[in-house]
Copies of this chain bind each other. A is one copy, B any other.
Amino acid sequence: MQKLRRGITAPKGFLAAGIHAGIKKPPLLDMALITSVVEGPIAGVFTTNRLPAAPVILDRRHLKRKVGRAIIINSGNANACTGLQGLRNAEETAQRVANQLGCLRQAVYVGSTGVIGPTLPMPFIQKGIPLLVRRLRRSGGREAAQAILTTDTKVKEVALEGSIGGQTIRIGGMAKGAGMIHPDMATMLAYLTTDIAIEQKVLQTSLQKAVHHTFNCISVDGDTSTNDTVLCLANGLAGNRMIRSRSSDLNQFQRLLEKACHSLAMQICRDGEGATKFVDIQVHGAKTNAEAKQIAITVATSLLVKTALFGEDPNWGRVIAAVGRAGPSIRADTIHLSFNDIVAVNNGEGCCASLERRIHRIMRRKTFTLTITVGKGKGSATVWTTDLSFDYVKINASYRS
């Protein structure tokens, strides 16, 4: 496994472009296009929000054909809560890309991120599409990754290669978002490309697993957006033997895919709005992995825990209180809690005050680990989170202008 320089266009046969189309203020890039030179299987995982945005509705429909050729994304407008007109605009966007590329509309996927409510400014999008197609190139990954950002402060890209069955295969990716974010800049979007030859059904299962272990384990503010989307497009140009559900090579691909998703997820979490701390929450000893994750997520989203992290306050009582309200039944006298290697709670009882100073020293670091043991079960989970700072409130309270 090796890191590559390029992002989304690192795998063979992928091109990308990003432009300023006019949705955001100039010179901000606001439209991106990713294409493969040939059609291939595509997999998708979408928001569980009951009120998905128009692009999510459209992508779910297109995914029934299981084949992808291009992904077009705009930032600055989420095309969410836009009713029937919103869906028509997403369809038109896909159709116009399809016309330019000479493929079916159903092979084009659409993503949007930005303000919820207003309809898409279609004239900008109509003019932008031919510009994007003309600009498509192997080195266009970086500008595409820039064009999907909203309140992000950093571009998020990944590219890895590995050897599968004697053939070199590559995975590229780009992402935006940090939980639900700016006043309206909702959304976590992540797009992955690979030149591996793989069955769509296997790709879909692999992506779901990878998302479960990576993107679904980061939490900035616990809000699930109307637009969250992860897509993975595979074009088979690496020339490996087709990966099927029982292929011995599948595990290797799964590891590579999870590594790419993990990298993007960590980049998102570290770029969380106003975040000053980046904390690993590990839960062990639960009855099941699901219960462990439920506990870890409850701790990660507790306002009291998050403000204590920001305040560097070794207030372990708040962690224990969050563990207690997570849902799973727990015996108090089985609980252990450590900050890195310092034990704060042992068999349910707190450490002496002198240790608090050492815990405080750990909390002054930018990153550290909270390890929580809740019994003798085999369930475990890891969740990554950030603190809740003055800047989070500032970023999210400011009146849109």
Contact = CB atoms under 8 A, between A and B. Distances in A.
A51 B333 CA distance: 10
Contacts of A221: 303-304
B184 A317 contact: yes
B318 A116 contact: yes
Interface string A114-140: 011110000000000000000000000
A212 to B, nearest CB: 18
A304 B399 CA distance: 13
A116 B308 CA distance: 14
Contacts of A340: none
A116 B356 CA distance: 13
A347 B81 CA distance: 10
Contacts of A186: 317, 321
A221 B392 CA distance: 15
A104 interface: no
Contacts of A320: 51, 80-81, 116, 226
A368 interface: no
Given A52-B324, A221-B304, A393-B310, A349 B317 contact: no
Interface in A215-262: 221-226
- Which applies to chain A's interface (DSSP): helix, strand, loop or mixed? loop
A349 to B, nearest CB: 4
Contacts of A322: 223
Nearest to A83: B349
Contacts of A168: none
A83 B333 CA distance: 7
A271 B183 CA distance: 26
Nearest to A81: B320
Contact of A222 (B183, B303, B315, B318): B303
A314 to B, nearest CB: 9
A282 to B, nearest CB: 19
Interface of A: 47-52, 78, 80-83, 115-118, 180, 183-184, 186, 221-226, 302-304, 307-308, 310-313, 315-318, 320-330, 332-333, 335, 345, 347-350, 360, 388-390, 392-394, 396-400
Going nearest first, the 10 A-B pairs with the smallest beta carbon separation are A116-B317, A311-B397, A51-B324, A307-B396, A117-B350, A49-B324, A224-B325, A221-B303, A83-B349, A307-B397
9 contacts: A50-B328, A81-B348, A116-B318, A117-B316, A117-B317, A180-B321, A223-B302, A223-B304, A303-B392
